[in-house]
């Protein structure tokens, strides 16, 4: 298992995580089997947004004796009222639900206290400008949460979080299909039976969000990496082609700012299908060739998606990384010092390009790589 730093939290999290939602439909023994398998493979980050009492209890029992090996994302504002889930910013209701989370998970603290499900402008204002925010800060001051995070499906709200200064990491929905769509306050739009024809490439606001998170050191953990399983079925995928779990995970992990992919698992076999990523070949990870040939929607033509399909470079340039630093640099009027430092630390930089253009023949999206290398060399000097 590979581990990545989760932004300014400095937590080293497994790049494959455990999204707990699917565990709601399983008994304790089945939950424990999934968590045991995840633990065996080195997974160390778990998201528990669910307010349903039984799943919280089952997860807590399964983690007993190994709590310190796990980082937990626990949500503030996900409540259980009249026997069903309800999202709220009412502090009294949030307090009851959060204390219940601690009790049922058998822990005294949550590593990542998540401001739960902020998708609307009005909800952002309610969450950050009132008693709810005071309660979140109170939890951090008391040590009941170690870091403040936020979950959202809306890139416009994620951008606000990344610029806020107090949100340290974001749980955000990422997959190749969702990335096509512009910001929306309605999550159901992402799960439409069909997407509007003609959508081409990653939505500019999403692309800018990932770069902003990388620039501001706000780490991302990913929810919905499989689009609820739709991407595994060519008849249900908006692209008209099927992807594998490994390809979906690789797509997420190649977005700037992403530290961990919180996939959902029904069984130990599902865990093993995800952790197969760690030993997968470049060919098995290659989502780019599949999407470039998809019968529906043009994906990313002319834009680098950092997929690495352009490798190998005869002079050893990490082309995807060079392109990422170029994109981060041009976000500002002047090249940020941190971006320049990281670029200059590369073993081979853009000025080593010999202009052979072999990489361009391998790029599924038609990126003019040699031209970008020239621009990058000029930009960084």
Give residue 188's pLDDT band: very low, low, confident or very high (50, 70, 90).
confident
* Distance, CA of 285 to CA of 247 (rounded, Å): 5
Q: Is the pLDDT of residue 199 over 70?
A: no
For the ranges 131-135, 311-315, 325-329, the lowest mean pLDDT is seen at 325-329
User: pLDDT: is 224 or 198 the higher one?
Assistant: 224
Give residue 196's pLDDT band: very low, low, confident or very high (50, 70, 90).
low
Tokens describing residue 297: 């929607």
Q: What is the pLDDT of residues 262-276, one digit of tens each?
A: 999 999 999 999 999
Mean pLDDT of 58-65: 98
Please tell me the predicted confidence (pLDDT) of residue 147. 98
Please tell me the predicted confidence (pLDDT) of residue 57. 98
Please tell me the predicted confidence (pLDDT) of residue 224. 93
Q: Is the pLDDT of residue 197 over 60?
A: no
Q: Is the pLDDT of residue 198 over 60?
A: no
Give residue 167's pLDDT band: very low, low, confident or very high (50, 70, 90).
very high
Please tell me the predicted confidence (pLDDT) of residue 331. 77
pLDDT, averaged across the chain: 92
Q: Is the pLDDT of residue 5 over 70?
A: yes
3-state DSSP assignment of residue 258: strand
* Distance, CA of 257 to CA of 162 (rounded, Å): 11
Q: Is the pLDDT of residue 178 over 80?
A: yes
DSSP 274: H
78, with CB counted inside 10 A (0-12, 13-18, 19+), is buried
Please tell me the predicted confidence (pLDDT) of residue 275. 98
Q: What is the pLDDT of residues 203-233, one digit of tens each?
A: 889 999 999 999 999 999 999 999 988 899 8
Specify the pTM: 0.88
Q: Do the Cβ atoms of 61 and 101 come closer than 8 Å?
A: no
Question: Residues near 225 by Cβ (< 8 Å), separated by ≥ 6?
Answer: 174, 175, 248, 249, 251, 252, 261, 262, 263
């Amino acid at each position: 298992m590979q581990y990545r730093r989760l932004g300014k939290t400095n937590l080293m999290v497994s790049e494959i995580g455990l999204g707990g939602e699917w565990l709601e439909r399983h008994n304790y023994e089945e939950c424990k089997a999934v968590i045991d398998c995840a633990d065996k493979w080195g997974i160390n980050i778990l998201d528990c947004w669910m307010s349903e009492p039984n799943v919280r209890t089952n997860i807590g029992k399964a983690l007993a004796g190994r709590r310190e090996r796990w980082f937990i994302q626990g949500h503030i504002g996900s409540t259980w009222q009249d026997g069903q889930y309800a999202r709220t910013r009412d502090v009294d209701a949030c307090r009851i639900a959060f204390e219940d989370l601690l009790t049922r998970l058998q822990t005294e603290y949550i590593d990542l206290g998540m401001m739960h499900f902020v998708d609307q402008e009005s909800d952002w204002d309610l969450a950050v400008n009132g008693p709810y925010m005071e309660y979140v800060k109170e939890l951090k001051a008391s040590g009941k949460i170690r870091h403040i995070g936020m979950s959202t499906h809306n890139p416009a709200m994620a951008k606000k979080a990344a610029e806020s200064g107090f949100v340290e990491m974001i749980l955000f929905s990422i997959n190749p299909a969702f990335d096509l769509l512009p910001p929306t306050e309605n999550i159901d739009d992402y799960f439409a039976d069909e997407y509007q024809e003609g959508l081409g490439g990653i939505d500019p606001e999403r692309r800018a969000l990932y770069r902003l998170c990388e620039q501001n050191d706000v780490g991302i953990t990913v929810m919905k990496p499989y689009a609820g399983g739709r991407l595994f079925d060519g008849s249900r995928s908006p692209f008209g082609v099927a992807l594998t779990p490994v390809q979906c995970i690789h797509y997420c992990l190649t977005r700037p700012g992403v530290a961990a992919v919180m996939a959902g698992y029904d069984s130990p076999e599902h865990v093993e299908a995800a952790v197969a990523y760690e030993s997968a070949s470049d060919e098995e990870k290659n989502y780019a060739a599949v999407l470039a040939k998809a019968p529906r929607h043009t994906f990313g033509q002319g834009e680098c998606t950092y997929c690495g399909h352009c490798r190998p470079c005869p002079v050893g340039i990490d082309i995807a990384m060079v392109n990422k630093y170029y994109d981060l640099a041009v976000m500002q009027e002047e090249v940020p010092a941190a971006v320049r430092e990281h670029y200059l630390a590369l073993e081979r930089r853009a000025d080593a390009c010999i202009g052979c253009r072999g990489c361009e023949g391998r790029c599924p999206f038609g990126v003019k790589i040699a031209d970008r290398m020239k621009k990058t060399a000029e930009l960084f000097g």
